[in-house]
Amino acid sequence: MIVAVSATGTEITAAVDPRFGRCRYFLFFDSDTQRVEALANAAGQSGGGAGVQAAQQVADKGAQVVLTGNVGPNAHQALSAADIVVYTGLSGTAKEAIDCYLSGQLKATGDATVPPHHGMGSGQGGA
């Protein structure tokens, strides 16, 4: 199973990024091989539609699960349409989030946790 984590860096020790659509990186953890692949979020700097674009990127990598801080309505809808289960409210490191998921401590998120366009302008050093 492939688990995607929104992250602030490329290592499994990186913090979970609280934003899904505008996170800096996605870490893809393969539970079968225990390997982690980091991929820059191509949608992170887009002018609009970042959540849907990020959801497509995650789906294209074969993820079945997303672990993140928050997810907007368009991203949540796109992830749900791709049969990707979303878990929100995560913080700490990506490794901690993955461990919580694998141990069954998390409850799937049934809807968006932030309004549309919530992550715009709130990046590193943004206003």
With 50 as the cut, is the pLDDT of residue 85 above it? yes
pLDDT tens digits, 61-80:
999 999 999 999 999 999 99
User: 3-class DSSP state for residue 70?
Assistant: strand
pLDDT at 47 over 90: no
Q: Which of 10, 23, 14 is CA-nearest to residue 88?
A: 23
Asked if the model's pLDDT at residue 94 lies above 90, the reply is: yes
Helices 73-81 and 50-60, packing angle to 10 deg: 30
Pick the CATH number of 2-102 from 3.30.70.20, 3.10.129.10, 2.30.42.10, 3.30.420.130: 3.30.420.130
